[in-house]
Structure 1
Amino acid sequence: MRLGGASFAESKDPEEWAYGLKRAGYRAGICPIGNDADDATVETVRRAADKHDILIAEVGAWSSPISPDPAVRQAALEHCKNQLALADRIGARCCVNISGSLGEQWDGPHSDHFKPETFERIVDTVREIIDAVKPTRTHYSLETMPWALPDSADSYAELIRAIDRDRLGVHFDPVNMVTSPRLYYDNGAMIRDFFRKLGPRILNCHAKDIRLAGQLTVRLEEVVPGAGALDYRTFLSELDKLDPDTPLIIEHLRTEEQYGAAAAHIRRTAEELGISV
């Protein structure tokens, strides 16, 4: 696999971005430009990534294309299409978004998220995005979420069957699927189940960690990799069975030191398992 994180380059220059990742020991990163970039800029970023052996893991399309607000939905749809087109232009592994939200917060919970009509809305939305762009070098993917579909291997597989598009890939974030103490204490089994059912379609993964607070009621909080209970031995072992270029991207941290500590934990675990990152 290819471990990735954030580039703390002093400028947005593509060469410095790519070298910043390489200097930190990463071999993957998130696309540093948006869909408004011209062809020359896209090519410059692509060349810098190739020069420093950095795989562009994902182009984010973070928005809510299932929003009940017509204006918000339309803007999100256009954003997703444009970002998917950028991912195809630059040769990213995937363009990733969540399915969206029916609430006011674009990535927030809603009581109707698990209803059949929402499932159908997601199917129609993803089909529209993929069919409009017709990517040939990349895939559109949905990040697993705790309070929206897909929230499990089975719900993801059901969406894949219903959407029925070759250019739909899988994005796996196991922390987002740990939603109860049962899953928390046995998350290794959940990870193995996900890889068993969806492994060949996994294009990209996110690396973070989760900790159960000892206070009522149940409170699960995201923490730096190594400070929680995510079964990284299982996670890395399963990832190692896939395409060796599959990225694992550390995310949501604030400082270079935090990213360094997270990367050190992952590299140390991988070394114990004889896995190259």
Structure 2
Amino acid sequence: MNIGLRAHDYGKKPLEELFKRISDDGFHEIQLAIPKAIEGVNSLEDVDESLLKDIKLAMEKYDIAIPVFGCYVELGHLDSIERQKHVERFLLGMDFAKYLGARCIGSETTHFSMDSTDEERRIAFEGLVDSVEQIVKKGEEIGLDVAIEPVALHTLNTPELTKELLERIPSERLKIIFDPVNLLTSKNIEEQEKLWNRAFDCFGDKIAALHMKGTRLNETGELEKTNLQDNAANFKRIIDWVKKNKPETTVLREEIKPIEAKIDRAFMAELIK
């Protein structure tokens, strides 16, 4: 297994400064969302050939690889016209990801409130299937994996629904980004072993990357962010499974505090050794 991080957690910085800082902290694999990470870029439409060449040169200079090219779009948007705009943005990002040699391009789906109806969720899921069919078709054409991330409060919100998506679109190019904390809620965290078993059964063989961040229940019984050392998610259990079954996977630290980067890297290295 490899260790990496989400580049934009260092803040939006000039390319050279960003990559040097990441490399100096001991990380050589990143999830890169260009508009979120690189100063002067506000959207994918701002990305041009010159910038892509500069990124590639910086990757070579600092020995940095991109296991995940991040493209944050709403592939399950309820408005079909708006959803298609997000699909087009993702399709554009796929060209950039391919040029940079990313192992996959990834996105979450669309946020839903807890009081959303089952009908709304099903409509959003059917829209998601249509979106993913479009982007996977291009992935097959250009030779690029597409990775979708399940999140408890999003369109793709359970391991079982993720399995349905994979069955509906049976492509080798369709993968899953597994962020365990994003599937946790205040209601299921106490029985997380069952959740991990469901996740591995439903999409374990499709995991392209693993996200790692901290969470725990606070005094009022709600989930709150925390550091890795105080994390209530059983990452040892998860890492042990992934290391055995998908040893080529990169685990990417999310929500890192740059001042603690070296400490976090040491913690992660100990976990995956």
Task: Specify the TM-score bucket, using the shorter chain as the normaliser.
Answer: 0.7 to 0.9
- Runs of at least 5 residues in structure 1 that lack an aligned partner in the other structure: none
Code of the residue aligned with 1:148 in structure 2: it is H
Would the alpha carbon gap of residues 67 and 9 (structure 1) be closer, same or farther in structure 2, given more than 3 Å must change?
closer
Shift of 1:161: 0.6
Match of 1:237 in 2: 240
Shift of 1:258: 3.8
Code of the residue aligned with 1:92 in structure 2: it is A
Code of the residue aligned with 2:238 in structure 1: it is F
Instruction: Select the residue among 13, 38, 42 that pairs with 2:15.
Output: 13
Would the alpha carbon gap of residues 157 and 9 (structure 1) be closer, same or farther in structure 2, given more than 3 Å must change?
closer
Instruction: Select the residue among 154, 170, 188 that pairs with 2:176.
Output: 170
Alpha-carbon displacement from aligned partner over 1:96-133 (angstroms, at most 9, x marks no partner): 11222467xxxx97334774333222111111223356
In structure 2, C-alpha distance between the alignment counterparts of 1:149 and 1:74, rounded to whole Å: 16
Shift of 1:66: 3.0
Shift of 1:30: 2.0
Match of 1:247 in 2: 250
Would the alpha carbon gap of residues 45 and 192 (structure 1) be closer, same or farther in structure 2, given more than 3 Å must change?
farther
Instruction: Select the residue among 41, 52, 71 that pairs with 2:51.
Output: 41
- 1:89-100 aligned at under 5 Å gives the runs 89-100=99-110
Is the Cα contact below 8 Å between 2:179 and 2:212 reproduced in 1? Answer: yes
Shift of 1:176: 0.9
Match of 2:4 in 1: 4
In structure 1, C-alpha distance between the alignment counterparts of 2:230 and 2:263, rounded to whole Å: 10
In structure 2, C-alpha distance between the alignment counterparts of 1:138 and 1:199, rounded to whole Å: 20
In structure 2, C-alpha distance between the alignment counterparts of 1:245 and 1:46, rounded to whole Å: 23
In structure 2, C-alpha distance between the alignment counterparts of 1:70 and 1:152, rounded to whole Å: 23
Report percent identity of matched pairs. Answer: 22
> How does the TM-score come out when normalised to structure 2?
0.81
Alpha-carbon displacement from aligned partner over 1:54-110 (angstroms, at most 9, x marks no partner): 22022222122332345532331221111122212212122111222467xxxx973
Would the alpha carbon gap of residues 165 and 208 (structure 1) be closer, same or farther in structure 2, given more than 3 Å must change?
same
In structure 1, C-alpha distance between the alignment counterparts of 2:195 and 2:230, rounded to whole Å: 19
In structure 2, C-alpha distance between the alignment counterparts of 1:20 and 1:231, rounded to whole Å: 29
Match of 1:148 in 2: 154
Provide the aligned length of Structure 1 versus Structure 2.
Answer: 262
Would the alpha carbon gap of residues 89 and 112 (structure 1) be closer, same or farther in structure 2, given more than 3 Å must change?
farther
Match of 1:22 in 2: 23
Is the Cα contact below 8 Å between 1:68 and 1:102 reproduced in 2? Answer: no
SS of the residue 1:211 aligns to: strand
In structure 2, C-alpha distance between the alignment counterparts of 1:186 and 1:266, rounded to whole Å: 24
In structure 1, C-alpha distance between the alignment counterparts of 2:53 and 2:172, rounded to whole Å: 26
Would the alpha carbon gap of residues 206 and 131 (structure 1) be closer, same or farther in structure 2, given more than 3 Å must change?
same
Would the alpha carbon gap of residues 6 and 164 (structure 1) be closer, same or farther in structure 2, given more than 3 Å must change?
closer
Shift of 1:248: 1.3
SS of the residue 1:241 aligns to: helix
Code of the residue aligned with 1:247 in structure 2: it is T
1:80 and 2:82 correspond: no
In structure 2, C-alpha distance between the alignment counterparts of 1:163 and 1:109, rounded to whole Å: 28
1:190 and 2:195 correspond: yes
In structure 2, C-alpha distance between the alignment counterparts of 1:61 and 1:262, rounded to whole Å: 25
Shift of 1:243: 4.6
- Runs of at least 5 residues in structure 2 that lack an aligned partner in the other structure: 36-43
In structure 2, C-alpha distance between the alignment counterparts of 1:264 and 1:189, rounded to whole Å: 29
Alpha-carbon displacement from aligned partner over 1:213-253 (angstroms, at most 9, x marks no partner): 232xx411232222221112112212212454422111124
Instruction: Select the residue among 110, 113, 134 that pairs with 1:128.
Output: 134
In structure 1, C-alpha distance between the alignment counterparts of 2:226 and 2:120, rounded to whole Å: 27
Compare the two structures and name the one with the higher helix fraction: 2
Is the Cα contact below 8 Å between 1:87 and 1:94 reproduced in 2? Answer: yes
